[in-house]
Structure 1
Amino acid sequence: MTERTLTQEYGAVPPEDGPAGAHQAKRDKAADRAAVRAFRPSRRVPAVVVSVLLTLLGLLVAAETVSALVGAPLRLVPYDRMLGWAASTLWSNPLFVLGSVVVALIGLALLITALVPGRPRLLAVRSHDPDVIIGLRPKSVTRALAHAAEEVPGVHTAHATLRSGTVAVTPTTSGWDKERFAQEVRAAVLTRLAGLDLVEPYRVTVDVKERK
C-alpha cells in the first residue's frame, strides 16, 4: 500500500462538491493556517538582543551628535583614538582581520537564526475550525508512531524521531526479511500518522535493525 493510498484512505474526508463543499474547504485551509501560525516557533531572544543593541547604539549616536552640535561633546566613546588607530592601521593587520571576522560571524549567526525555523513546541492538528487550535507535543507524536511500529508482528522495539518534515523510524526485529518488515512498519506508521491528522505533511523512512 503506497503512501498516497494510505493518505486517501485514512486522511481527512474530502469536501463535497458545490458551494457548501467549497466553503468548507476554505474554512479548513483557514483553520490550518491559523494552527500553523499559532505554533510557529518565535525568535524572541535573538530579536530582543538585536533590538536592545540597536537601540543602545542609536541612543549613543544621537547623544554624541547632539552634544557635538551644542558645543559640549560627551565623548562617551573614544572615537578620536579609534579614528587615529583606523587611519594608521593597515587592512592586512591581524587584529583588524580578526575583528572583521568576528563581526561577520556574529552577523551571519544572527541572520541564520532569523531565517532558519526552529523546532516547534507543538505540532498543529487539523480542527476544521479557525477558532479551534489543537496541538500535539512532538514527543507524544513520536511515541505514538513508535508504538504503531511495535504493533507490527515480529518487531520487538521501535524508536521514532521527527526532523525536517521526516519521520525516521528504527524498528528492531529478529527476522531476516528486512525489506518486508520495512514495508509493513512504514504502512503501520503512515496509518497512525494519517489518524493523527497533522497539518504539516511528513514522509516516513524506516531503518530496520536486527536484534542481537
Structure 2
Amino acid sequence: MSTGAHGADEPVTTTLGDQAMEAPLGGATIRVTDRPPSGAGRAADRAAMRAFRPRRTVPAVVVAALLTILGVVVAAQTISALAGRPLRWVAVDRMLVWAASTPWNNGLFLLGAAIVALVGLALIVAALVPGRPRLVPVRTGDADLIIGMRRRSFARALAHAAEGVPGVHAARASVRGHTAAVTATTSGWDRERFGEAVHTAVLSRLVALSPIEAYHVKVNVRERK
C-alpha cells in the first residue's frame, strides 16, 4: 500500500492491498486492514466473481445465428439436390472451379484466410478472457451468499464517505476499472491534512464495503470558489 498527500493540483493516490495502514484523522489514528481471505473465503470470492462475470452474450448470439443460417443453407442445398431440384442459392460449381484454379499464394485467398483466422482468434479470446464483472462483488466469506453493488452505488458510497469529513462541502467519485477517483471540494485550509483525512475516510469505507477486487484510490482536493 502506498499513501500520500499533496496540494490541490496533485491527487492523493492509495492502493488498498493486503497490508495494514495507519493514517491520522483530526489528531486520532484509524487503522484499516485488508487481510487475505482464508480458504473458504477464497472459494466464496471465486463464486462471486463467476456469478457476476459477463456471459459474452452478444458474440455467442452472433456466432450462433451465423452457424444456424449456414446450416440451413447447406441443408436446403443438399436436400434440394438429392430431390433433383437444386435451389442454387450458392454457386457451388463456380466456387469449386475457382478453388481448383486458384494457387495457395493467391493474394485474395491469403486475405480471406487471414480474416477468418483473425475472427476465430477474436472469438477464442472473447470466450477465454474473463470480462469485467457487471457489478462490484463484495466479500461475504460464504460461497452461498453472493452480493454485488452497482458501480454507481459503489462510487456514491465513496463520495458520501468523503462528504463526511469536516470541511468538505461536496464530493464526487467515479469508478473506472480498478481505479476509484474521488474529488472533494473545500473552502481551503490545511490541504495536506485535509487530503489525508479524505483519503483515510474513503479507505475506511472501502474496508467496510470489502470489495473482492483491489482498487487504486485517487483523491483530488479542490478549493471552493
Q: Offset at 1:141?
A: 1.5
Instruction: Give 1 or 2: higher strand fraction.
Output: 2
2: distance between equivalents of 1:211 and 1:82? 72
Moved more, 124-133 or 102-111: 102-111
- Percent of paired sites with the same residue: 59
Counting only pairs closer than 5 Å after superposition, residues 82-101 of structure 1 correspond to structure 2 as none
Compute the displacement of 1:72 (Å).
4.0
Deviates more, 1:40-49 or 1:142-151: 40-49
CA RMSD of aligned residues (A): 3.8
- For structure 1, the residue ranges without an aligned partner over 5 or more in a row are 16-24
Does the CA contact (< 8 Å) of 1:148 and 1:192 recur in 2? yes
Shift of 1:197: 1.0
TM-score normalized by the length of structure 1: 0.71
Where is the helix percentage greater, Structure 1 or Structure 2?
1
Note the residue ranges of structure 2 that are not aligned, 5 or more in a row. Answer: 4-15, 23-30
Higher relative contact order (CA 8 A, sep 6+): 2
1:111-126 aligned within 5 A: 120-126=133-139
Which residue is equivalent to 1:170?
183
**Residue deviations 1:135-171 (CA, integer Å, cap 9, x gap):** 2222221111101111222221111111111111111
Structure 2 CA distance for partners of 1:177 and 1:62, relative to 1, 3 Å: farther
Cα offset, 1:112, TM superposition = 7.7
Number of residue equivalences: 197
Query: Which residues of 2 match residues 71-82 of structure 1 at below 5 A?
Result: 72-78=85-91
Instruction: Output aligned runs, 1:18-57, within 5 Å.
Output: 25-57=38-70
Q: TM-score under structure 2 normalisation?
A: 0.67
C-alpha separation between the residues in 1 aligned to 2:172 and 2:129?
A: 26
Confirm or deny: 8 A CA contact 1:11 1:195 kept in the other structure: no
CA distance in 2, matches of 1:184, 1:84: 76
- The answer on whether the counterparts of 2:20 and 2:34 sit within 8 Å (CA) in structure 1 is no
Picking from 7, 10, 15, the partner of 2:32 is 10
**Residues 154 and 174, structure 1, Cα contact 8 Å, conserved in 2:** yes
State how far apart, in whole Å, the 1-side matches of 2:214 and 2:164 are.
23
SS in 2 for 1:10: strand
Superimposed CA distance per residue, residues 3-48 of structure 1 (whole angstroms, 9 cap, x where no aligned partner)? 54249x4346678xxxxxxxxx211111111111111122213311
